[in-house]
Amino acid sequence: MYLSRLRINNFAIIKAIDISFREGFSVITGETGAGKSIIIDALSLALGEKFSGDVVRTGEKLASVECHFAGVRDNLKVGDFISKNGLPNLGDELKLKRKITSAGKTRSFINDRQVNLSVLRELGNIIVDLHGQHDHQALLYDENHIEYLDLYAGLKDHLVEVRDLFYKIARMEEVLKLLKDRKRLFDEKKELWEFQLQEIEKVRPEPGEYEKLVEEKKILENAERVYQLSNEVNALIYDSDDSIFERLQVVEKKLQQLCEISSGFNDYLEEISNARFLLRELSERIAGFVSSIDFDRERLDSINSRLFALQQLTKKYKGSIEEVLRYKDELKEKLGEDEGLDRKIEKLEEQLNRLRQEYLSCAIELSRKRKSVARDFGKKIEEILDRLGIKGARFEVKFGYIEQSNSPYKVGDNTIKAGPVGIDVLHFEISTNPGENLKPLSNIVSGGEVSRIMLAIKSILAGRDQIPVLIFDEIDTGISGRIARVVGEELKKLGFHHQVLCITHLPQIASLGDSHYKVMKYVEGGKTYTTIKELTSDERVKEIAGLIGGKEITDTNVLQAKELLTEHREGKVHG
């Protein structure tokens, strides 16, 4: 995967640039102040770095930078990122774009979809390592050092094992927390639930009971009225003069006579007969009902007392008797969960303890493997730094732990913090001058030193580091001659595994590039412009001759430039 195209509009003194890059090792040259670093700044903008609106070209309202990457299918890490974030898949191409207004407002895009700046920055860190005078320097962040050492040691399988165990434990701890929260809630509610259940079971309500009692109460309270009405109804049916029953008998006889004359009244005759039977049945039902009424003051008091108890339940639990009964069943079910929760928690804690022991064993073994290669890693860095002109450098990997009082992990007498990459906390320390004490890399001020240290690390990680694009700015600060050639050779070798872009002022490095680009500044219409172009073979000879001789290029300078380029073409790069 490599940066294939860079488009810049209205950024600083750049009006418009649209340049294509090639794979391998590319060099970028140009006079001081031509705008080489401005191009790198623009690329940093597209990778998610923060800038103010001051970078917008004077007189313009909007600047934009767009970079295209080819060969994306070869980078699984980028493919996973695109998939995880639900971004459009452009096949073998990736596009990053950033727009910034003169007021400092920005918009970020990945594959033409707008994204948060943090997402763009995260992807930018996966794709490009930029080293030099800019803030985009992964080497200076201690949290990245463990990754460099692990890549060197080839600990991917061990890391996957530790990481998978860590996240499995984290998921199990979350489940355990939820269960304990449920248990705590249960314990807080248990006493209340038990009281409520006892209260309901003490009353022992039955379905439909309330309605039946209300009816019975109504009858008992109206017993005298019931007697009176019953007697009056029976009198009207049978006992009074000219009763309904007698009248119906008369009607029935008259209707029989009509039916003998015309059959059209037969159905009505049958209905009259049925009416007499209905009246007889009603009279018997009333008599039976009246005889069943036994006015009992104690029974009425009992009903009132029972109704009051039921009313208290429905009032307290805000519902009908049926709803109270349903709530009773819920209480029984909730209280029945107690034993199940305890057992689940106990079982999960046992599993968690076993997993933690397994994780700790794996993490300790991972730590041991790291420490076993750390010295060799440091020695190889020192050897390359010596070749790169930082003589007598000392480089060490410092290990430690982070103490955490509530951690379940203990090594020796220390209770320590654990994470997805194990229990180690490590950082690189260096002394670049003999006699100086070792200091953290983050204390290094010199951009040239930082770049050469990163070059040394990248050299021994070549082919293992998944970051496809490496950019070096100011790597040649303070070096010349033989050392410059060695730096160039290391960059050339890195170009076999990564796309390498290097800004340089040295002919020894520039001559080793597979491709050569020149940044130029010119004035037109009273305004300054910066542009960049890829050099042809003849232009390249002239540019390298200029790097050798300065403004006045002699025939000797041209011959020297051709000799340097010939060495490159013939593969005279020292291992």
Q: Which residue has the higher pLDDT, 470 or 290?
A: 470
CA distance 343 to 19: 67
What residue ranges do the domains of the chain occupy? 186-336, 536-575
Q: Residue 278 has what pLDDT?
A: 87
Residue 66: which of 12, 5, 2, 131 has the closest Cα?
5
Residues 6 or more apart whose Cβ sits within 8 Å of residue 266: 259
Q: Residue 426 has what pLDDT?
A: 93
Residues 6 or more apart whose Cβ sits within 8 Å of residue 277: none
Q: Residue 572 has what pLDDT?
A: 54
Residues 6 or more apart whose Cβ sits within 8 Å of residue 349: 176
Task: Report the share of the chain in percent with pLDDT over 70.
Answer: 94
pLDDT band for position 303 (50/70/90)? confident
pLDDT band for position 511 (50/70/90)? very high
| Cα-based distances in Å from 149 to 17, 418, 428 | 39, 18, 10
- For the chain, the first-to-last Cα distance in angstroms comes to 25
Q: Residue 569 has what pLDDT?
A: 66
Note the pLDDT tens digit of each residue in 525-575. Answer: 888 899 999 999 999 999 999 999 887 889 999 999 999 988 766 655 544
Residue 53: which of 92, 13, 12 has the closest Cα?
12
Q: Residue 338 has what pLDDT?
A: 66
CA distance 474 to 487: 12
Task: DSSP for 364-404, please give it.
Answer: HHHHHHHHHHHHHHHHHHHHHHHHTT-TT-EEEEEEE--B-
Angle value at C-alpha 409, between 405 and 415, nearest 5 degrees: 35
Task: Report the share of the chain in percent with pLDDT over 90.
Answer: 45
For 503, list phi and psi in degrees, rounded to 5. -85, 125
Tokens of 262: 């015309």
Q: Residue 259 has what pLDDT?
A: 85
Q: Residue 22 has what pLDDT?
A: 95
Note the pLDDT tens digit of each residue in 96-151. Answer: 999 999 998 999 999 999 999 999 999 998 899 887 554 445 677 788 899 889 99
Q: Is the pLDDT of residue 292 over 70?
A: no
Q: Is the pLDDT of residue 44 over 70?
A: yes
Note the pLDDT tens digit of each residue in 387-418. Answer: 888 888 999 999 999 999 889 999 888 899 99
Backbone region of residue 147 per phi and psi (left: phi > 0; alpha: psi in -120 to 50; beta: other values): alpha
Q: Residue 176 has what pLDDT?
A: 93
Averaged pLDDT, 194-205: 85
Backbone region of residue 154 per phi and psi (left: phi > 0; alpha: psi in -120 to 50; beta: other values): left
Fill in the DSSP letter of residue 89.
P
Cut 0.85: pTM above it: no
How many Cα neighbours within 13 Å face the side chain of 548? 23
| Cα-based distances in Å from 363 to 74, 81, 89 | 31, 27, 37
Q: Which residue has the higher pLDDT, 468 or 245?
A: 468
